Structure 1
Amino acid sequence: MTAQFATESSREVIRLLEKAGYEAVFVGGAVRDYVLGKPATDIDIATSAQPEEVKAVFPKTVDIGTEHGTVLVLMNGEPFEVTTYRTEGTYSDHRRPDEVQFVTSLRQDLLRRDFTMNALAMTKEGELIDLFGGQQDMSRQIIRAVGHAADRFQEDALRMFRAVRFTSVLGFDIEDETFEAIRDHAQQIQYISVERLKAEMDKLFKGENPVKAFQFIQQSELASHLPLFPPKMDVLNQTSPFETAIEGWACLMVAGDFTPADVAKAYRLSNAEKSYLTSVHQAFAKRSIALYTLDDYYAFELGVLLLVEKLVHAKGRLNQELSKVEITSAKQSLPIQSVADLAVTGKDLLTWTGLRGGKWTGEWIGKITMAVLHGICENNPNNIKEWFLHEFNCER
């Protein structure tokens, strides 16, 4: 029997390391996901060989973190991270070990990992190595720290938030001692970079059970030390699960009555993410006081319109509930969905008038868009030309 999640190339990496006299096993999330019956990704390999020894075994390698024991091995065009067994020293910044020490013991290497379910290893033949009860914890759907939970969180405070994220992604509960350690060390989350927190939040939002994660965030007091988090969970609970991470961010914004700028600054969102939040913020303001207008259906993406309907309902501001079918039908029945759907362009206006281009062309394309949208003229070149020339000449 072989490790069924592994590719032939990854098994070849281990085979060659073993042939050279070293131990090598699969470790980390791929093993965990395989045991859980989930698709395994990001196949990582741990070995007793030190970085220079790994590089001597393979003709194609890339140094991506040799000071921490990691070498990228290229096998048949596939990249694999191969990391030397190691122990770690103190974490003065609560993020990175001040020093690492390479060891030859797999047990010592697994002992430094965060949770028992992530401290599993597997041989290329498929033999599971479980030194800390990870398989039992997974069968009980429990997230348990390896060794003393307080030590693991003092080493890297992000592990506390990883535990919470796994409650959303896997639907597991946090074991009592591990949870108490999170609550005792919650304030240390402030030492973690916003970028790392944002990456974890993205995964949390995309999980199947974010409500469970939100509850743990509150109960553990992590919420008090995050860059920005709503004081009440009602809106997040009612609108989850989310289709995408950005929907989660939008719901967090509305739940806390934050502005797009607040959230974007706190978690360093991209311009595209901030733009999406701005659309949700604007649509929410409109929908909170009235039904969507024709202009609203045109201005906002269907996903935004549907999400805002859920948000308005969750906030108790719904004046007349619209179904998904009604919103979708209204959006799809528009004569055009964007300016790109217009049967004419600015070049046509220049041809019809004989004028040079300028600010006026954009303004008139906007007027034509509204005329087509509201049924004043049909979306074909002849009708638009006739309407445009009449209106254009009337304004001159």
Structure 2
Amino acid sequence: MIIKKLPEEFEQARPVMQRIEQAGFEAYFVGGSVRDTILKKPIHDVDIATSAYPEEVKHIFNHTVDTGIEHGTVMILDHGKGYETTTFRTESGYQDYRRPDQVTFVRSLKEDLQRRDFTINALAMKENGAVIDLFSGLKDLKNGIIRAVGDPQARFNEDALRMMRAVRFSSQLDFKIEKKTLAGIADHAQLLEKIAVERTRVELEKMLLGDNPANGITQLLETGLYKYCPMLEHFKSGLAEIVTLNKWDLSNDTEVWSLLCYSFFLEGKQINDFLRQWKTSNQVITDTTVIVSAISSLLEDEIIPEVLYETGRDRLVSANKISNLFGGELTTKEVLEAYDNLPIKSKKELAINGGQLINGAQLNPGPMIGQTLQRLETMVVNDEIPNSTDELMSAAVKMLKED
């Protein structure tokens, strides 16, 4: 197979490949960029594999960086761009079920490709677009199959994260996992506990952002992988419910976690505890907590000013998207129109501040100021009082007298 029209990312890298070949070595594009080009999907990183050893690569090019030289990787700098170039290698000894204990540089492309995870990722391409397929990856791409290279048991024992990658690709590409590969995942599922939570989290997020996330979740359940993900063992029924949802199209990590937390009936501190186990960022925890709270309100088809105000525009889009998946009937347009009609969108827009309360309402500095401002803010949001300094000052004085 020859790809006649290469993406621009490959075209820009061709001179680098040609220089390696002119020096008497082999060079190929490898990995996901080759797979995605064949699938006519956008490509991201361009990786190069070569028969040249690291020192030989550095001898060919004037500008390089040793980004991972112990594993054979050198960054070639060319016209302001960097190309990670890795020597063909074999690997052995995976005591941590993730990284090889020993890397051996070789001159054989076949030896290099046979250590890779799946056939669809074991494709190589020459700089002229000629695809090298030594493990029937093209056939599996055509048939929508995820198949381990060689023995699935060995591949997953080498790197347990490959199991999550298989499930992720089943969602991301809407492919089926081949029978022996699926059995290998089930047999080694417990090894996922050996993998850093952060790595597992990235794969789960990508899975749920894929073309067919229900497919990925089904594989998580069928193989038992979910049992070895933080806390998911307690939420099997929630995962099963997500599978039944109609077509959904999440846009970011926060929406992923909001959907999961809502499906698992988590709220407040429970959300915090759950996401801490997954080592998400504090911002994701904050946003997810707010979104899940808003989903419950939107599902009642109620547009409550305070909920709109506390949630904010971007998070409302996410909340209503998930609400609609569970039967909510409000359109995003309706929700955003209501938000845009709020008297204020943030505390900063309130026409009075603490200093004015101290001077105008004879309040002493202290908690009472914050409490009063909070009450005024709520009244403005609910359209109970105009956002006017005079009106707010009068209301504050009246509150203080009544208190």
The alignment's TM-score, normalised by the length of structure 1, stands at: 0.89
1:238 aligns with 245
Deviation at 1:139?
0.7
Deviation at 1:371?
2.4
Alignment of 1:273-284 (within 5 A): 273-283=284-294
C-alpha distance in 2 between matches for 1:280 and 1:353: 37
Can you list the C-alpha shifts for 1:147-186, whole angstroms capped at 9, x where unaligned?
1111111110111110100111110111111111111111
SS in 2 for 1:248: helix
Are residues 1:89 and 2:100 paired?
Answer: no
2:202 to 199, 211, 214: 199
The alignment's TM-score, normalised by the length of structure 2, stands at: 0.88
Deviation at 1:255?
2.4
2:166 aligns with 163
Deviation at 1:327?
3.2
1:217 aligns with 220
Deviation at 1:314?
6.9
Structure 1 pair 92–58 and aligned structure 2 pair: CA distance change class (3 A): same
2:81 aligns with 78
Are residues 1:296 and 2:307 paired?
Answer: yes
Can you list the C-alpha shifts for 1:128-163, whole angstroms capped at 9, x where unaligned?
111111111111011111111111111101111101
Are residues 1:394 and 2:396 paired?
Answer: no
Show structure 2 runs of 5+ residues with no match: none
1:35 aligns with 38
Can you list the C-alpha shifts for 1:235-260, whole angstroms capped at 9, x where unaligned?
45427332322212122223233421
C-alpha distance in 2 between matches for 1:386 and 1:217: 60
Are residues 1:338 and 2:346 paired?
Answer: yes
The total of aligned residue pairs comes to 392
C-alpha distance in 2 between matches for 1:313 and 1:81: 43
Identity of aligned residues (%): 38
Structure 1 pair 210–353 and aligned structure 2 pair: CA distance change class (3 A): same
SS in 1 for 2:83: strand
C-alpha distance in 2 between matches for 1:177 and 1:11: 38
SS in 2 for 1:56: helix
Show structure 1 runs of 5+ residues with no match: none
CA contact (8 A) 2:171 2:213 kept: yes
1:248 to 251, 256, 259: 256
Are residues 1:375 and 2:346 paired?
Answer: no
Deviation at 1:8?
4.2
Are residues 1:11 and 2:14 paired?
Answer: yes
Can you list the C-alpha shifts for 1:292-339, whole angstroms capped at 9, x where unaligned?
533222222355556556767877xx8x85454443333332212221
- The one-letter code sitting in structure 1 at the alignment partner of 2:66 is D
CA contact (8 A) 2:76 2:85 kept: yes
Q: Point out the more displaced range, 228-237 or 299-308.
A: 299-308
Deviation at 1:357?
5.6
2:123 aligns with 120
1:362 aligns with 370
C-alpha distance in 2 between matches for 1:167 and 1:19: 39
Q: What root-mean-square deviation, in Å, do the aligned CA atoms of Structure 1 and Structure 2 show?
A: 2.7
